[in-house]
Amino acid sequence: MSVRDRLIAVFVAATVVPLGLTLWMTTSLLEHSLTYASTRELDEISRLLETTGREYYQQARQDLTAAADRGEVKPVRMLPENREKWPAAVVEFSDSGEDTRFNLAGRKGDRLEYLVRRGAAVDVYSKDLGAVAMDRLSEQYARARSLIETAKARDLRRGFTYTYVLLMSAIWLVSLLVLVYLASRISRPIGELTNSLLKLSAGDLSIRLQTDRRDEVGKAIRAFNHMAGQLHHSRERLVYLTRLAGWQQLARKMAHEVKNSLTPIRLTIEEISARGADGDRAFLEQAAQIVVDEVNSLERRVRAFSEFAAEPPVRPAILDVNALLEERIAFLRTAHPEVAYHLRLVEDTPRAIADEDLVKGILTNLLENAAEAAGAGGAVLAATRVERDTGQEMIALEIHDSGPGLSMQAIETLFEPAISFKKGGMGLGLSIARRSALLCGGDIVLIRGELGGAAFRLLLPVRESPTPADVKDPSCPQHELSSSTTKKISAAR
């Protein structure tokens, strides 16, 4: 089950039970309150009133009939000759052919009349019903029944209940939809991060994720990008160091073979020069000088390969990179007076931890290359800065020149040993410089030049706040550099 489905399941489980209890309690309260405010009691009262009214009316009829029979009530006789003056109810009774009839008269039916046919005449007996107006009672009863029937038709209680249930269900469904949307937004970057981790584990170190989030997910994505970048950079370093180890082995073998041939050549030529005839001495000396020069050239090449193949001792120390860069430029300025040197140093630059001799060698190589590329009238810019793009604080020393720059072919094989695009170059200077930077825990990278030519950036680790256990005696002859880079170099060998 995915994170999105789990979030939805948690929401449903956490809300359905409280929602059901809330609906039950609310509908119970509504029903209870609406029952007291409903028309049920009115229905009961109206029916009771109807029964009472009917019984009272029947009793009044019986009493009036008995009183008329006993002669206790004097009738009002309606004579035929006065028919035009008869009340409408009496005329209707006379025309109906009935013998007797009861009729409600008076104001709102508060008087009961008993009509009796006496031939063509009609006797009217009447009885006052007092405060009980039967017509008014009938009207009130009819109105009450009308209200009751209307209330039943509308069913207010059931309408309230259904409306409330529908409203709560709609709110819950809207909340569920909002949760599904939010769960998708939350789980989507997690899913992308999971897929990217699978690709990374499959060997795709170029995978990166874009995000502008500032929450924990964004931090995880940025940490993943940093980790992928570090792995990619570490793999490049390992590949480079592995190839470098192969070249070192080749250099050792070539140095051994060339040295075996140089010694007999020198001895033989010196012997020829010492034993040659007087007439041929000038020629022999010239030939000997040529051979000796070539031997010296071969020795220089062999020495360069030997230095490249040798594993220099690493003595890490705390370095002031600004002072070290100024010292190297002052040292090389006299060798290249035709080049203008410029410095751009960041004040309060943190101290670096590296081997001073190796860093001097790196800076000498980079500055020499820059001066040769700039040429007469050219310029070299040396700058320092603090680099944090890699997630680890590093000190960057940059060397820029105003030369023609590097071709694509040169860039592709820039740090390859024994490949040089300079006249008279050995092709080992940048390889040795980068190896020294890696041994110091840093690196050398090619960057965009500010003066139109080539530019290199030397990265060195920043000194961390020392603890008593970390402070080393500078008088010790040699300290091993405890860094992952040194372990990688040893493993590559």
232-286 residue pLDDT tens: 778 778 877 887 777 776 676 566 556 655 655 665 666 666 665 554 666 666 6
Helix and strand numbers (H, E) in the chain are 12, 11
User: Roughly what angle, to the nearest 10 degrees, separates helices 429-439 and 356-374?
Assistant: 150
Q: How far apart are CA 178 and CA 175, in angstroms?
A: 5
Q: Report the share of the chain in percent with pLDDT over 70.
A: 70
Same domain for 235 and 105, yes or no, is: no
| Same domain for 119 and 100 | yes
Structure tokens that stand for 65 in this block: 């009939």
Q: Return the beta strands (E) in 83-231 as ranges.
A: 100-105, 111-118, 121-128
Angle at 58 between CA 54 and CA 59, to 5 degrees: 115
Q: Which residue did the predictor score with more confidence, 147 or 280?
A: 147
| Mean pLDDT score of the chain | 76
Question: Are residues 255 and 162 part of one domain?
Answer: no
Give the pLDDT confidence score for residue 270 in this predicted structure: 67
- CA torsion through residues 48, 49, 50, 56, sign: positive
Say how far apart CA 187 and CA 10 lie, in whole Å: 14
**What pTM, to 2 d.p., does this model score?**
0.45
Cβ pair 106, 132 in contact under 8 A: no
Residue 49's domain comprises: 40-153
Domain end: 251, 275, 308, which one? 308
Do 256 and 357 belong to one domain?
no
> What pLDDT, in 10s, does the model give residues 413-432?
788 765 554 554 556 788 88
Strands (E), 73-193: 76-78, 100-105, 111-118, 121-128
Main-chain phi, psi angles of 47, to 5 degrees: -70, -40
- 460/338 same-domain check: yes
Question: For 425, what's the count of Cα atoms within 13 Å in the CB-facing half-sphere?
Answer: 19
Among 277, 308, 339, the domain-final residue is 308
Tell me if 205 is assigned to some domain. Answer: no
Residue 458 lies in a domain: yes
pLDDT of residue 456: 96
Burial 289-327 (b: 16+ CB within 10 A, else e): eebeeebeeeeeebebbeebbeeeebbbbebebbebbee
Quick count: other Cβ atoms within 10 Å of Cβ 94?
A: 19
pLDDT for the residue numbered 233: 79
